[in-house]
Amino acid sequence: MTDQKDSATDEPVTTRKGIRSFVLRQGRMTSGQEKAWERSWPRFGLSRSDGMIEPRELFGRQAMLNLEIGFGMGQSMATMAEAAPEQDFIGVEVHRPGVGALLKEVEDRGLENVRVYNIDANDVIDFCLPDASLDRVMVFFPDPWHKKRHHKRRLIQPEFVQRLRHKLRVGGVLHLTTDWENYSEHMMAVMSTAEGFANTMPENGFSPRPKDRPITKFEERGLGKGHGVWDLVFRRTN
């Protein structure tokens, strides 16, 4: 498979070889998404070639910094950013229509506290984020890769979690959410043994949905069908 390019920089979406947690879909952008991209990517878009960011310079202030990995079509991220204008948000999504959709939300809502990458989250972690720069990392409804032979593709793995830990400040939070029970069990097993993390809930339990995590339309449909949703909220301890 030929790697999709980041059209803003002509860079590959990922530099990593081997197993990936995503498959690049060749979906087309809508006219509205395309126009939002053209208007707003130069202002809100970030690229691997920008190198290591300095959040205070990027946003022009010192504020709580959130990272959302795999924001889909961006509605949840835009809702969180609109509800917390005193915080800053960086989103990562490999699928270009999702980035266009978020940029349209940014325009429609008049948001100033959002920036976005259209590359692999692994590259953002490795090349773009200083250590101890994040207050919160959110991974909501990642691909569950539900077939057993595909479990190795799941994003939440011990090595990935440790790389995230170094980007969180001590006291920062890693918030994971899934609607696949088997994946929730996998996530809990990974996080319960992860060095430098502690569950914010007693007895290694799952967390109630934090009030600042929006409920998506997809989640509402699942809940209506009796599907479960599991939140895990862990804090960096060292």
Known catalytic residues are 143
Q: Taking each helix axis as running N to C, give the angle between helix 31-44 and helix 96-109, from 0 to 180 degrees, rounded to the nearest 10.
A: 80
- The candidate with the shortest Cα–Cα distance to 164, out of 188, 189, 197, 200, is 197
Annotated binding site for S-adenosyl-L-methionine: 68, 93, 120, 143
How many whole angstroms separate alpha carbon 78 and alpha carbon 67? 12
Annotated binding site: 68, 93, 120, 143, 147, 179, 216-219
Q: What is the DSSP string of 49-116?
A: GG-S--HHHHHTS---EEEEE--TTSHHHHHHHHH-TTSEEEEE-S-HHHHHHHHHHHHHHT--SEEE
